[in-house]
């Protein structure tokens, strides 16, 4: 048994190893690690052999292999395989200045993967003689710290992936168990229905027809019948039948048929599935009666076969399984008992024997009790198995003495604390064989059913993905906390949390990684002291945390602990991602004592946090509620405006001037959207654009602006200004759409604009948040022939090295650096430095927010090409722009 368990453990470990060792991910991890730490690595495993290609150029690897020697590699691998005590082993090398370590990553005590890490060591400025310049070096201290980091990182990656695989397997097993329980419950219901026919007063044919119907519907088979031998044993009659389709009925055809047509009528049971090898006479029978699978069982009268119970399938192939065969045999015993009872109903002894045979084979406990004498007259084997000490009798007696309704036709749910079993008990008065009144108790073990119901209740209260309580449980607990707070005094708080820009994680990495982030954040919430069991997922990326009255004194600490959860990055898809949250806080009963009212006010506070820039906490304020209604009006009117082809929106144009040319001519304009609502009047872009992005309505608005801007620019180009260009802003919501490139291409084709006269602006913070993805998206857009500009430069955290990776043509320096130019040395040096470096990498500069002549002259000296600001013109309607700048 131990050997079998070890073998099974090894097989499971091998399966996990295959799932966990993604060569692409491991190669990326290795290359980034080696490049960051100046080391040389390779990853190996027992099953895959070499998992990753060794890091380094051919010249570097030739030098390393020459110094380290392949025999040392083999020796180190043998040590890793043969020791269970160490996960990191250093192999001494003859060459000074070289170190080699092996790292083993274990799963369940078995090595899943190994790293071989070689470092070229130059401490205290010492240089290894003959070392090629291309070979990377490190120090001893850095080498060992890197080894420790790689070991820790690998274990974390493997542990996370392993947890995911195990969770998926556990879910599959749970699903199978659920289906099995449901099947057993259905079988019990059908068998109970059949057993109840023992007391039916209907004719035998009607009873058997009802039984055949129940069996066929449960087993999902097409036909069943009961055949009877004629008096002389030479003919066969069908006396009862059930069929799925009336056209497949055989009862009229099967009357007074020769017994030779039925090869199974020889007193033996037969079972034949589709495809079973059978004698010729059975083949003939199946072809004649179109039978594709069947079970035939003899029904005896006085130990002599007199009838045959037949279940068969005519519509499709069928393979009988063990549970179906067992079930059919039990049904046959019941039918035989009913037949025997009907034949010998005037014989008390015969009737009792038949009844006892039936009751001993049903799947429930049976007990007959005489309450007058307080004595049990009969109990079947199943009852004695349920209660081997017969203690149920005293419990039934105690209940009957204390509760008279238990003596009447009643149903009782009973839980036995001693064996942790649930029972359904049915009580019915009947006449005993000698005519006296007794009580028949039918006891069903419904433990599996009850446990399944409890599981369903847990699912009703818990969020399936994160395991946190769900919205329904949240509303129940809030009401309970409000009541407790009123009874004990003090205050409680409701924290409403929404993740900022979570949609970008889902759209960028996929819902699988979005789900992983939600689970990780949920686990972090549950580790915050004071709210471990008060965390709820309301849906999507929204969470609620209840701070009860006895924890209210720690409210500030709890909020700070939650904020700290979001200070660290989350490791998703091989990279680190930051996710922030906005929180609305409402107190009870100060701010309200109604559940829905509190949730509404917390949501109002949450929206205020979003409106004020996200990544912040806002407490509910009554003055904010008014703005909440304004927000609803704004949302309603915006949806109406966008649904009517954005007719209420208008595009304004602010001139862009080229000061590198004589006369500072206009070179184009930036398109800026304005909204003149028919009901709310002129609305500031700062107010409606964040709302449009939040609602996803920025897509139709942005498309409208781009189409209008391109249409006007094409007009300018045709009217004597072929070099005029127009700048259009792209929001993060637009850029992350899968069809953004097609959308831009469609506008270019519809308007006929020269693509080089269209400049698309993206903000600096958006461009560097996911540099890899932005390179791909912007590269695809660049293929259309348009120009790309990096807007608001200097307000984010990017470097010119990052900018160099992006296919941009223009850098737009934010106005905050221009306000104090000529007065503040930092602003002047910043603009000059960016201008010079941009010239070096072939990127043009545009400065925003220029309002004074002195600023213009300063920028002219710095060789800035484009200027935009109130000095040359405010944003204006298309007609005004064309009157001023179209000669």
What is the arithmetic mean of pLDDT over 83-90?
A: 81
What is the arithmetic mean of pLDDT over 849-859?
A: 89
pLDDT for position 20: 65
pLDDT digit string, tens, across residues 145-160: 998 988 888 888 777 7
Give the H/E segment covering residue 729: strand 725-729
Residue 845: CB atoms within 10 Å: 23
Among 286-300, 736-750, 811-825, where is mean pLDDT lowest?
Answer: 811-825
First to last CA, the chain: 95
Reply yes or no on whether the pLDDT at 294 is more than 90: yes
Residues of the chain with pLDDT > 70, as a percent, come to: 89
Reply yes or no on whether the pLDDT at 716 is more than 80: yes
Question: What are the phi and psi torsion angles at 702 (to 5°)?
Answer: -60, -40
pLDDT for position 400: 45
Reply yes or no on whether the pLDDT at 231 is more than 90: no
* Alpha-carbon distance values, 140 to 55, 98, 278, 500, 656 (Å): 20, 10, 79, 43, 57
Reply yes or no on whether the pLDDT at 212 is more than 60: yes
Task: Report how far residue 234's alpha carbon sits from residue 282's, in angstroms, rounded to the nearest whole number.
Answer: 18
Give the H/E segment covering residue 214: helix 204-219
Task: Report how far residue 825's alpha carbon sits from residue 827's, in angstroms, rounded to the nearest whole number.
Answer: 6
Question: What are the phi and psi torsion angles at 463 (to 5°)?
Answer: -75, 130
Q: Where does 476-568 show beta strands of DSSP type E? A: 492-499, 535-539, 542-547
pLDDT for position 311: 94
Residue with tokens 């020791």: 83
Let me know: does 790 contact 811? Beta carbons within 8 Å: yes
Task: Report how far residue 369's alpha carbon sits from residue 395's, in angstroms, rounded to the nearest whole number.
Answer: 13
pLDDT for position 389: 61
Task: Report how far residue 319's alpha carbon sits from residue 296's, in angstroms, rounded to the nearest whole number.
Answer: 15
DSSP for residue 371? T
pLDDT for position 626: 55
Let me know: does 745 contact 760? Beta carbons within 8 Å: no
Reply yes or no on whether the pLDDT at 402 is more than 50: no
- Its pTM stands at 0.41
As a whole number, the mean pLDDT across the chain is 84
Reply yes or no on whether the pLDDT at 47 is more than 80: no
pLDDT for position 374: 75
Task: Report how far residue 469's alpha carbon sits from residue 460's, in angstroms, rounded to the nearest whole number.
Answer: 9
Q: What region, left, alpha or beta, does residue 794 occupy, with left being phi > 0 and alpha being psi -120 to 50 degrees?
A: left
pLDDT for position 111: 81
pLDDT digit string, tens, across residues 9-38: 444 444 444 456 788 888 998 899 899 899
Helix 140-196, helix 2-20: angle, nearest 10? 120
* Alpha-carbon distance values, 687 to 635, 641, 683, 865 (Å): 11, 15, 7, 32
CA-based nearest residue to 885, from 715, 633, 646: 715
pLDDT digit string, tens, across residues 455-480: 777 677 888 888 898 988 899 999 99
What is the arithmetic mean of pLDDT over 365-369?
A: 83
SS3 670: strand
> How do the residues of the chain divide into helix, strand and coil, expressed in percent and rounded to 5?
50, 25, 30
Of 150-164, 227-241, 664-678, the range with the highest mean pLDDT is 664-678
Task: Report how far residue 843's alpha carbon sits from residue 803's, in angstroms, rounded to the nearest whole number.
Answer: 10
More confident residue, 47 or 268: 268
Let me know: does 674 contact 872? Beta carbons within 8 Å: no
pLDDT digit string, tens, across residues 562-599: 999 998 888 887 777 788 899 999 999 999 999 999 99
DSSP for residue 123? -
Longest dimension (CA), the chain: 126
Let me know: does 546 contact 552? Beta carbons within 8 Å: no
Question: What are the phi and psi torsion angles at 570 (to 5°)?
Answer: -110, 135
What's the pLDDT band for 799 if we cut at 50, 70, 90? low
More confident residue, 139 or 182: 139
Q: Which two tokens stand for residue 770?
A: 């996911």
Reply yes or no on whether the pLDDT at 39 is more than 80: yes
Reply yes or no on whether the pLDDT at 510 is more than 50: yes
Query: What is the b/e burial string over 683-718, where b = at least 16 CB atoms within 10 angstroms of the residue's CB?
Result: beeeebbbbbbbeebbbbbbbbbbbbbbbbbbbbbe
DSSP for residue 170? H
Residue 422: strand pairing partners: 415
What's the pLDDT band for 524 if we cut at 50, 70, 90? very high
Among 66-75, 299-308, 399-408, where is mean pLDDT lowest?
Answer: 399-408
What is the arithmetic mean of pLDDT over 213-228?
A: 92
Residue with tokens 């002894």: 349
Contacts of 137 (CB under 8 A, 6+ apart): 38, 119, 120, 121, 122, 128, 131
Question: What are the phi and psi torsion angles at 329 (to 5°)?
Answer: -65, -40
pLDDT for position 405: 46
Residue 216: CB atoms within 10 Å: 19
What's the pLDDT band for 685 if we cut at 50, 70, 90? confident
Q: What region, left, alpha or beta, does residue 792 occupy, with left being phi > 0 and alpha being psi -120 to 50 degrees?
A: left
pLDDT for position 539: 86
Let me know: does 181 contact 448? Beta carbons within 8 Å: yes
pLDDT digit string, tens, across residues 704-713: 999 999 999 9
Task: Report how far residue 713's alpha carbon sits from residue 161's, in angstroms, rounded to the nearest whole number.
Answer: 53
pLDDT for position 181: 79
Instruction: Please count the helices (runs of H) and the strands (runs of E) in the chain.
Output: 28, 32
pLDDT for position 796: 52
Reply yes or no on whether the pLDDT at 186 is more than 90: no
SS3 727: strand
What is the arithmetic mean of pLDDT over 337-359?
A: 66
What's the pLDDT band for 406 if we cut at 50, 70, 90? very low
Contacts of 1 (CB under 8 A, 6+ apart): none
SS3 366: strand
Residue 40: CB atoms within 10 Å: 24
Q: Which two tokens stand for residue 22?
A: 């993604």
Task: Report how far residue 631's alpha carbon sits from residue 32's, in angstroms, rounded to the nearest whole number.
Answer: 47
Rg of the chain (C-alpha set): 41
């Amino acid at each position: 048994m131990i050997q079998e368990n070890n073998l099974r453990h090894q097989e499971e470990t091998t399966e996990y190893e295959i799932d966990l060792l993604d060569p692409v991910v491991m190669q990326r991890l290795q290359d980034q690690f080696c490049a960051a730490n100046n080391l040389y690595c390779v990853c190996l495993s027992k099953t895959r052999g070499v998992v990753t290609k060794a890091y380094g150029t051919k010249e570097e690897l030739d030098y390393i292999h020459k110094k380290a020697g392949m025999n040392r590699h083999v020796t180190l691998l043998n040590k890793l395989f043969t020791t269970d005590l160490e996960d990191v082993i250093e192999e001494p090398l003859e060459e000074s200045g070289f170190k080699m370590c092996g790292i083993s990553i274990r799963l369940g005590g078995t090595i899943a993967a190994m790293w071989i890490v070689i470092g070229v060591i130059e401490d205290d400025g010492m240089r290894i003689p003959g070392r090629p310049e291309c070979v990377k070096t490190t120090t001893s201290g850095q080498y060992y710290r890197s080894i420790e980091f790689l070991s820790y990182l690998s274990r974390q990656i493997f542990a996370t992936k392993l947890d995911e695989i195990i969770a998926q397997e556990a879910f599959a097993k749970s699903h199978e168990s659920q289906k099995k329980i449901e099947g057993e419950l259905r079988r019990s219901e059908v068998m109970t229905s059949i057993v109840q026919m023992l007391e039916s007063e209907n004719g035998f044919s009607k009873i058997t027809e009802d039984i055949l119907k129940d069996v066929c519907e449960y087993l999902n088979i097409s036909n069943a019948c009961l055949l009877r031998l004629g008096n002389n044993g030479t003919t066969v009659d069908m006396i009862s039948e059930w069929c799925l389709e009336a056209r497949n009925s055989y009862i009229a055809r099967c009357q007074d048929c020769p017994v030779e047509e039925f090869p199974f009528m020889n007193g033996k049971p037969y079972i034949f599935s589709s495809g079973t090898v059978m004698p010729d006479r059975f083949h003939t029978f199946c072809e004649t009666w179109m039978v594709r699978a069947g079970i035939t069982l003899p029904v005896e009268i006085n130990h002599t076969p007199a009838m045959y119970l037949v279940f068969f399938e005519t519509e499709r192939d069928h393979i009988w399984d063990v549970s179906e065969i067992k079930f059919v045999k039990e049904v046959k015993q019941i039918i035989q008992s009913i037949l025997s009872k009907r034949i010998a109903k005037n014989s008390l002894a015969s009737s009792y024997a038949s009844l006892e045979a039936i009751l001993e084979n049903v799947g429930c406990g049976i007990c007959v009790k005489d309450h007058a004498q307080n004595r049990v007259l009969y109990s079947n084997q199943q009852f004695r198995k349920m209660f081997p000490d017969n203690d149920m009798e005293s419990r039934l007696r105690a209940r009957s003495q204390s509760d008279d309704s238990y003596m009447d036709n009643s149903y009782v749910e009973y839980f036995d604390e001693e064996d942790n079993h649930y029972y359904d008990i049915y009580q019915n008065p009947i006449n005993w064989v000698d005519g006296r009144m007794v009580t028949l108790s039918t006891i069903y073990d419904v433990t599996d059913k009850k446990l399944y119901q409890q599981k369903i209740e847990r699912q009703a209260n818990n969020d399936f993905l994160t395991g946190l309580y769900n919205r329904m449980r949240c509303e129940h607990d809030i009401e309970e906390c409000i009541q407790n707070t009123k009874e004990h005094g003090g205050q409680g708080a409701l924290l409403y949390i929404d993740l900022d820009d979570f949609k970008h994680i889902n759209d960028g990495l996929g819902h699988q990684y979005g789900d992983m982030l939600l689970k990780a954040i949920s686990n972090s919430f549950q580790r915050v002291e004071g709210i471990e069991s008060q965390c709820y997922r309301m849906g999507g990326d929204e969470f609620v945390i209840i701070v009860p009255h006895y924890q209210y004194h720690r409210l500030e600490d709890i909020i700070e602990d939650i904020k700290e959860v979001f200070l660290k990055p989350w490791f998703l898809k091989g990279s680190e991602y930051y996710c922030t949250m906005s929180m609305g806080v409402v107190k009870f009963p100060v701010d309200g004592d109604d559940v829905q009212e509190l949730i509404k006010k917390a949501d109002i506070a949450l929206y205020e946090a979003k409106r004020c820039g996200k990544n912040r906490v806002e407490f509910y304020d009554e003055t904010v509620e008014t703005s909440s209604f304004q927000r609803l009006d704004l949302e309603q009117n915006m949806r109406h405006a966008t649904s009517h082809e954005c007719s209420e929106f208008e595009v304004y144009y602010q001139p862009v001037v080229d000061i590198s040319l004589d006369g500072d001519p206009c070179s184009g304009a930036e398109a800026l959207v304005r909204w003149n609502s028919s009901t709310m009047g002129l609305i500031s872009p700062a107010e409606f654009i964040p709302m449009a992005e939040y609602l996803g309505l920025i897509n139709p608005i942005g498309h409208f602006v781009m189409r209008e801007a391109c249409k006007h620019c094409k007009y300018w180009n045709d009217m004597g200004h072929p070099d005029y260009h127009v700048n259009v802003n792209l929001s993060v919501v637009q850029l992350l759409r899968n069809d953004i490139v097609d959308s831009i291409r469609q506008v270019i084709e519809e308007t006929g604009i020269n693509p080089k006269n269209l400049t698309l602006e993206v903000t600096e913070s958006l461009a560097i948040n996911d540099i890899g993805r932005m390179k791909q998206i912007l590269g695809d857009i660049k293929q259309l022939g348009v120009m790309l500009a990096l807007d608001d430069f200097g307000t984010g955290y990017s470097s010119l090295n990052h900018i160099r990776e992006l296919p941009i043509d223009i850098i737009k320096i934010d106005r905050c650096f221009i306000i104090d130019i000529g007065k503040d040395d930092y602003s002047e040096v910043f603009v000059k430095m960016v201008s010079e470096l941009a010239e070096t990498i072939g990127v043009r500069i545009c400065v925003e927010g220029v309002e004074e002549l002195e600023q213009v002259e300063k920028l002219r000296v710095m060789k800035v090409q484009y200027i935009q600001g109130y000095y040359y013109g405010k944003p204006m309607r298309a007609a005004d722009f064309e009157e001023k700048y179209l000669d």
